[in-house]
């Protein structure tokens, strides 16, 4: 399992909760602001990276800045909500405003057997959504892992790059299997 995880904070109200869930899995982690200079991010020597959610749109002129070089560190990366959108946008995907804002309890359907959802007994998973924008077109090389009942991407991944995105929040108690998803990310998607 990864033993040093860096969480980049894009302004989410749940960032401390992400750290708590990671630490409950006995994984050391620290939180840095997303605009931390890349050199300081490198100094942490992370073995995995989590990009938090946040209240902005990737197209806002005052969207939280982050050095895109963090996506070239060749370590497993998990984008949560805004983190998934930011990662997708930086890698050439398209983020679009949703016709329907997904907020609150939701069901997602797993559409691709993947290690993130390893040993899940059900195809439908209860999750907590809190977003307006969504990934409309995935970056090249990514595949859909789960979709919301509104047909939007709920989880995406690229095994070659070891980059994954969740449109929902695995860190909150309203996503009952969220801890298992985080654990599966650390175990099954770790760097070799």
Contact between 40 and 32 under an 8 Å Cβ cutoff? The reply is yes
Cα 159 to Cα 169: distance, rounded to the nearest angstrom = 21
Number of domains in the chain: 1
- Both tokens of 135, joined, read 């990934």
Rg (CA), the chain: 15
Count CB neighbours of 37 within 10 A: 10
CATH of the domain at 160: 3.40.50.880
Q: For residue 47, what are the domain limits?
A: 4-188
pTM > 0.75: yes
Q: Which residues are catalytic?
A: 81, 169, 171
| DSSP letter assigned to residue 112 | S
Per-residue pLDDT of the chain (192 residues; tens, 9 = 90+): 557 999 999 999 999 999 999 999 999 999 999 999 999 999 999 999 999 999 888 998 999 999 999 999 999 999 999 999 999 999 999 999 866 666 778 899 888 778 888 877 667 889 988 767 889 999 999 999 999 888 889 999 999 999 999 999 999 989 989 999 999 999 865 543
Query: SS3 for 61?
Result: coil
């Amino acid at each position: 399992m990864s033993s040093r995880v860096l969480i980049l904070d894009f302004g989410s109200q749940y960032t401390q909760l992400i750290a708590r869930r990671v630490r409950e899995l006995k994984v050391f982690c620290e939180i840095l602001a997303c605009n931390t200079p890349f050199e300081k991010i490198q100094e942490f020597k992370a073995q995995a990276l989590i990009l938090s959610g946040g209240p902005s749109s990737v197209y806002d002129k005052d969207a939280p800045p982050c050095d895109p070089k963090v996506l070239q560190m060749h370590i497993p990366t998990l984008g949560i909500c805004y983190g998934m959108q930011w990662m997708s946008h930086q890698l050439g995907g398209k983020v679009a405003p949703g016709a329907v804002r997904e907020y609150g309890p939701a069901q997602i359907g797993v559409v691709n057997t993947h290690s993130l959802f390893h040993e899940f007994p059900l195809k439908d998973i209860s999750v907590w959504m809190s977003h307006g924008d969504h990934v409309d077109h995935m970056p090249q090389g990514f595949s859909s892992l789960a979709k919301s009942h509104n047909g939007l991407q709920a989880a995406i991944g690229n095994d070659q790059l070891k980059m994954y995105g969740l449109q929902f929040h695995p860190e909150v108690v309203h996503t009952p299997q969220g801890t298992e998803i985080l654990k599966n990310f650390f175990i099954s998607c770790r760097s070799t």
